[in-house]
Amino acid sequence: MGEDLEKLKQQLPLLDYLRCQNWTGRPASQGPEFVGLCPLHSETRPSFYVNARKNLFYCHGCGQGGDLIRFVELSQHLSFRQSVTYLEQQSALVDHEAVLRQASAFYQQQLDRYPEARRYLERRGVRDPALIQELQIGYAPGGSLRRHLLARGYSLDLLRRTGLVNPQGRDALYQRLVFPCCQDSRIVNFYGRSIGTGFAHRFLPGAKGDLVAWESVRQFPSVILVEGMFDLVVLRQAGFRNATCSLGTHLTADQFQQLCDRPRTVYLTFDVDANGSGQQAAQALAHRLRAQGITTRRVLLPPGHDPNSFFVQGGDPRQFQSLLEAAPL
Ligand SMILES: [Zn+2]
């Protein structure tokens, strides 16, 4: 038990934990001490000290002090045992997040090493290097992520639990362009788009996250909603900064709530496919959004088109703007 607790405290340093909880401290001296307002009692002058080397805190205001577990007991009003359980969960979350971030960095590095990935992007009209970087677009060649992450000390068990590696022990994503899916700015999943003959697209197991780039889009009084990442990219390239993407026509409850978080107009710009499924989905969604007081308009692309093909086949921003203006309520 004692050893496990030491390991837990090493994995999750007190200062890191406090910063995750939005505590801000400044160096108190040349040494390893930081000082800031006490999270345990209300005060205006900082008297809460953290020693980053010893992993201990002490508050001169309320007289409380101790290690990370003591801090969780006091701040969350938990017993010792409950605090340990809570911290074990936090630590697993931190690992999970870290490994997804590492995977994303790896995928992004691969993009320049595989000309076939670049060619596919070009074919889909994706050109802007700044946007590729902003959306953290990468490439999963397959057969190399597992080795890369194991060499960085992540366990095979963790890689399996994240879904990055399948139960047979192989990279789950191969020959796919990869887009990270985020929730509250943290990567929670990857969307992989096949550049070959494999099944067109897939996610890793788990939630698909927020509407794409929602933090930068939510400020706009009207937003353009598309279903595919390549639709989003061409719209952003064409100057439509208020475009976001739900990664499929079925919105999760969280994504739906995001669209409803204030009064706004939503331009639903789903595919106009032969079987009509895109437009049916748009109609059903419009109905649900209107029930929440959101204004909806259905953008009617020429038959057989999605926003991506519209721009790739020569459509320009002015023409798309006309479609927005003509969109029926
Ligand atoms: Zn205090």
Helix (H) or strand (E) holding 71: helix 68-76
Among candidates 267, 269, 141, which has minimal Cα distance to 194? 141
Among residues of the chain, what percentage have pLDDT more than 90?
A: 78
Kindly tell me if the per-residue pLDDT of 198 is higher than 80: no
Ligand 1 mean position, distance from CA 42 (Å): 7
Kindly tell me if the per-residue pLDDT of 189 is higher than 80: yes
Q: Which residues surround ligand 1, an ion (CB under 5 A)?
A: 38, 40-41, 59, 61-62
Ligand 1 mean position, distance from CA 1 (Å): 29
231 vs 126: CA distance, rounded Å = 10
26 vs 20: CA distance, rounded Å = 15
The whole-number pLDDT of residue 155 equals 87
- pLDDT tens profile 224-272: 999 999 999 999 999 999 999 999 999 999 999 999 999 999 999 998 8
Structural tokens at position 315:
């459509």
Ligand 1 mean position, distance from CA 24 (Å): 14
- pLDDT tens profile 158-185: 999 999 999 999 999 999 999 999 998 8
Structural tokens at position 67:
């290690």
If you average pLDDT over residues 65-81, what whole number do you get? Answer: 96
Residue 140 binned pLDDT confidence (cut-offs 50, 70, 90): very high
Q: Which of 18-27, 74-83, 201-210, 217-226 has the lowest mean pLDDT?
A: 18-27
The whole-number pLDDT of residue 31 equals 83
Residue 1 binned pLDDT confidence (cut-offs 50, 70, 90): low
Give the amino acid at 104: S
193 vs 180: CA distance, rounded Å = 11
Residue 206 binned pLDDT confidence (cut-offs 50, 70, 90): confident
C-alpha separations of 157 from 101, 154, 311 in Å: 17, 8, 43
Ligand 1 mean position, distance from CA 48 (Å): 6
- pLDDT tens profile 293-302: 999 999 999 9
Ligand 1 mean position, distance from CA 62 (Å): 4
Edge-to-edge strand ranges of the sheet holding 243-245: 243-245, 222-226, 265-268, 295-298
Q: Any residues with CB less than 8 A from the CB of 51 and at least 6 apart, and which?
A: 32, 33, 57, 58
Q: Any residues with CB less than 8 A from the CB of 46 and at least 6 apart, and which?
A: 25, 35, 36, 37, 38
Give the amino acid at 231: D
Ligand 1 mean position, distance from CA 6 (Å): 25
Give the amino acid at 165: V
The whole-number pLDDT of residue 92 equals 82
Average pLDDT of the chain to the nearest whole number: 93
